[in-house]
């Protein structure tokens, strides 16, 4: 096997989907602490198999390095794998950023508050993952609280998310009575100790279901109940099936408490073992295999001013094939230029550092000086373009106006940069000096004004504007497009990436315009 194939085989790239408050942040912390502990200890020996944890003092590390779960990408070793965890933005608004991050992973962890079951945001995000049949691992969280009947919650996943459940662990009690889980595949009971959320716990394991030690540890009644329940569970639920999991049709289910740091390691064991290595990706000309020797990748996210000291903009690129090495030349396909990249950033467990090399499944950060947009493909010379990274037409619009008119240039710069991040879109009408901001949620408007103030030193306010929707327009016939430009100019604008858009004052207007210009195509998304 080539080095490239070995590196590809080691990688696991995933994101967490959940409803707000289900415990995504907490579980990220614990996952990262495992990763950092192992990284620091410099060994991954004995995890899973022999049940011996690499010892390490978490509290110490928390102090030392400061756990930052606000970082967008975290890479850490676990078992024999190298895991990339991509953070998805936490706000309640369903955001495009989240959507696009889900296009850059190979699997997802679904975190469910076991007291609540399947909630809204999870439902919505799962729809997105279903489009690509992304494999899903499930963690039922908050077992240290009173939860709903676990069988019932699994049924809910099956019926509402249309995905079969295969329990890998099974909980013993919950709330104050939470005793631990029985691991169906390892045939062992792992006992829960409360109040140990900040440390990697010494494993307290009882082999076998009929072991009298089990009765001693959790009491005769609970042990008997567990045995009976498991018989039922095994009969009524699905067995884990790797094929079905990889097709996104079946999810392995784990139980635990993120806050108590219990069960997170079982889930990670399963995820690193079963989740797919970097998958092939579609482009407009061919399917790119991760093990293709030539480098390729796409940008799924741009973030401005991550580090206030540097005022930089970072373009996050998912590597799809080949190997990145420092100083290499790559082709920026959209603008047809070769660029030398010597200072790409990697994200080793929360730290930003410079990458010497990186492989498929990894995320690298490119310093962006305005030439990179979301959706851009980079290759080693080949003219191809990764597909499926859309920009959605915004649904809310406001005119933005400066308090100090002398700062127009600064305002435009800020808006264009913020729109590169994809959270909002900026539109410049072609026949007048005006700026329109479009967003998918109200929250984004507030964020933009706040960031313009702190990051670009401009004070801006919004004014209402009657715009119902926007459509990106294209036409194969240049002549017809020109005519459309002349006749419909009052409703036309350029977006932050200079693409032509039709700003419709009403839906009726949009429909009439579409009828009047049948050769013009109106798009709801801009596939970059």
d(CA 416, CA 94): 22
Q: Which of 266, 286, 179 is nearest to 223 (CA)?
A: 179
Q: Which of 121, 145, 227, 326 binds ligand GDP (CB under 6 A)?
A: 145
Site string for ligand GDP, 186-225 (x = CB under 6 A): ----------------------------------------
- Find out whether 21 is annotated in a ligand binding site: yes
Q: Coil, strand or helix: which one is 8?
A: helix
When the beta carbons of 26 and 419 are compared against ligand GDP, the nearer one is: 26
CB of 356 to ligand GDP, least distance (A): 33
Q: Which two tokens stand for residue 243?
A: 């094929």
Work out the burial of residue 247: count CB atoms within 10 Å of its CB; fewer than 13 is exposed, 13-18 middle, 19 or more buried: exposed
Q: Which of 185, 127, 143, 173 is nearest to 27 (CA)?
A: 143
- Find out whether 470 is annotated in a ligand binding site: no
CB of 380 to ligand GDP, least distance (A): 39
CB of 97 to ligand GDP, least distance (A): 16
Give the CA distances from residue 88 to residues 136, 188, 237, 287, in Å, rounded to whole numbers and listed in that order. 16, 34, 31, 26
| Interface segment toward ligand GDP; rule CB under 6 A; list 255-263, 287-295, 374-382, 400-408 | 255-263
Give the CA distances from residue 97 to residues 102, 200, 301, 375, 518, in Å, rounded to whole numbers and listed in that order. 9, 33, 7, 12, 33
CB of 291 to ligand GDP, least distance (A): 35
Give the CA distances from residue 433 to residues 93, 399, 405, 487, in Å, rounded to whole numbers and listed in that order. 31, 11, 12, 19
Contact between 238 and ligand GDP per CB under 6 A: no
d(CA 185, CA 175): 24
d(CA 427, CA 95): 19
CB of 264 to ligand GDP, least distance (A): 9
Site string for ligand GDP, 2-41 (x = CB under 6 A): ----------------x-xxxxxxx---------------
Q: Which of 7, 106, 144, 269 binds ligand GDP (CB under 6 A)?
A: 144
When the beta carbons of 240 and 262 are compared against ligand GDP, the nearer one is: 262
CB of 6 to ligand GDP, least distance (A): 34
CB of 488 to ligand GDP, least distance (A): 44
d(CA 67, CA 82): 19
Contact between 257 and ligand GDP per CB under 6 A: yes
Give the CA distances from residue 238 to residues 35, 252, 276, in Å, rounded to whole numbers and listed in that order. 31, 9, 20
- Find out whether 301 is annotated in a ligand binding site: no
Phi and psi of 223, rounded to 5°? -65, -45
Q: Which two tokens stand for residue 488?
A: 């419909």
Straight-line distance from the first to the last Cα atom of the chain, in angstroms, rounded to the nearest whole number: 36
CA angle 243, 246, 251 (to 5 degrees): 95
When the beta carbons of 260 and 361 are compared against ligand GDP, the nearer one is: 260
d(CA 98, CA 121): 11
Contact between 97 and ligand GDP per CB under 6 A: no
d(CA 387, CA 190): 44
- Find out whether 20 is annotated in a ligand binding site: yes
DSSP state of 386: B
CB of 103 to ligand GDP, least distance (A): 21
CB 352 within 8 A of CB 367: no
d(CA 90, CA 247): 27
Q: Which of 36, 39, 134, 141 binds ligand GDP (CB under 6 A)?
A: 141
CB of 16 to ligand GDP, least distance (A): 8
Rounded (10°) angle between helices 220-236 and 150-161 = 20
Contact between 119 and ligand GDP per CB under 6 A: no
Contact between 259 and ligand GDP per CB under 6 A: yes
When the beta carbons of 257 and 425 are compared against ligand GDP, the nearer one is: 257
| Interface segment toward ligand GDP; rule CB under 6 A; list 39-47, 254-262, 276-284, 465-473 | 254-262
Q: Which two tokens stand for residue 424?
A: 């909002």
Site string for ligand GDP, 260-289 (x = CB under 6 A): x-----------------------------
- Find out whether 142 is annotated in a ligand binding site: yes
| Interface segment toward ligand GDP; rule CB under 6 A; list 141-149, 299-307, 325-333, 369-377 | 141-149
- Find out whether 338 is annotated in a ligand binding site: no
Instruction: Tell me the number of residues near ligand GDP by CB under 6 A.
Output: 17
When the beta carbons of 24 and 407 are compared against ligand GDP, the nearer one is: 24
Q: Which of 142, 179, 331, 398 binds ligand GDP (CB under 6 A)?
A: 142
DSSP state of 83: E
The residues that touch ligand GDP, with contacts defined as CB under 6 A, are 18, 20-26, 90, 141-142, 144-145, 257-260
Q: Which residues are annotated as a binding site?
A: 18-25, 87-91, 141-144
Q: Which residues are annotated as a binding site for GTP?
A: 18-25, 87-91, 141-144
């Amino acid at each position: 096997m080539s080095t490239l194939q070995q590196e590809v085989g080691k990688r696991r790239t995933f994101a967490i989907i959940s409803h707000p408050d289900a415990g995504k942040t907490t579980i990220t912390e614990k996952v990262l602490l495992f990763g950092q502990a192992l990284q620091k200890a410099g060994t991954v020996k004995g995890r899973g198999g022999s049940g011996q944890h690499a010892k390490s003092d978490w509290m110490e590390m928390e102090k030392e390095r400061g756990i930052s779960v606000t970082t967008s990408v975290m890479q850490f070793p676990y078992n024999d794998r190298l895991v990339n965890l991509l953070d998805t933005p936490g706000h309640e608004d369903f955001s495009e950023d989240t959507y696009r991050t889900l296009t850059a992973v190979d699997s997802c962890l679904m975190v469910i508050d076991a007291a609540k079951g399947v909630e809204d945001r999870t439902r919505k995000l799962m729809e997105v993952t279903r489009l690509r049949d992304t494999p899903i691992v499930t963690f039922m969280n908050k077992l240290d609280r009173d939860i709903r009947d676990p069988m019932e919650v699994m049924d809910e996943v099956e019926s509402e998310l249309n995905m079969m459940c295969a329990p890998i662990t099974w909980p013993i009690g919950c709330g104050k009575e939470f005793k631990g889980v029985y691991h169906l595949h390892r045939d062992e009971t792992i006992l829960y100790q409360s109040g140990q959320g900040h440390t990697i716990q010494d494993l307290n394991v009882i082999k076998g279901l009929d072991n009298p030690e089990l009765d001693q540890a959790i009491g005769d009644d609970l042990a008997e109940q567990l045995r009976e329940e498991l018989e039922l569970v095994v009969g009524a639920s699905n067995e884990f099936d790797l094929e079905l999991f990889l097709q996104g049709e079946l999810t392995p289910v784990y139980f635990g408490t993120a806050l108590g740091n219990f069960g997170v390691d079982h889930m990670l064991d399963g995820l690193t073992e079963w989740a797919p290595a970097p998958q092939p990706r579609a482009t407009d000309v061919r399917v790119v295999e991760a093990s293709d020797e030539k480098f390729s990748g796409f940008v799924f996210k741009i973030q401005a001013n991550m580090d206030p000291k540097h005022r930089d903009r970072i373009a996050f690129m998912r590597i799809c094939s080949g190997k990145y090495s420092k100083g290499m030349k790559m082709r920026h396909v959209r603008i047809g230029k070769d660029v030398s990249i010597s200072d790409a950033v990697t994200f080793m467990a929360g730290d930003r550092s410079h990458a010497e090399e990186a492989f498929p499944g990894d995320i690298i950060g490119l310093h962006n000086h305005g030439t990179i947009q979301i959706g851009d493909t980079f290759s080693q010379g080949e003219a191809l373009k990764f597909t499926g990274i859309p920009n959605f037409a915004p649904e809310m619009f406001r005119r933005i106006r400066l308090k100090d008119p002398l700062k127009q240039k600064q305002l435009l710069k800020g808006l264009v940069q913020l729109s590169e991040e994809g959270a909002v879109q900026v539109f410049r009408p072609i026949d007048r000096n005006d700026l329109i901001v479009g967003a998918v949620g109200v929250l984004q408007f507030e964020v933009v004004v706040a960031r313009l103030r702190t990051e670009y030193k401009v004070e801006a306010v919004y004014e209402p504007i009657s715009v119902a929707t926007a459509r990106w327009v294209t036409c194969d016939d240049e002549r017809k497009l020109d005519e459309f430009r002349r006749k419909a100019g009052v409703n036309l604008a350029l977006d932050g990436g200079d693409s032509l858009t039709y700003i419709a004052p009403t839906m009726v207007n949009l429909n009439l315009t579409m009828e009047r210009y049948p050769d013009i195509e109106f798009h709801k998304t801009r596939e970059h």
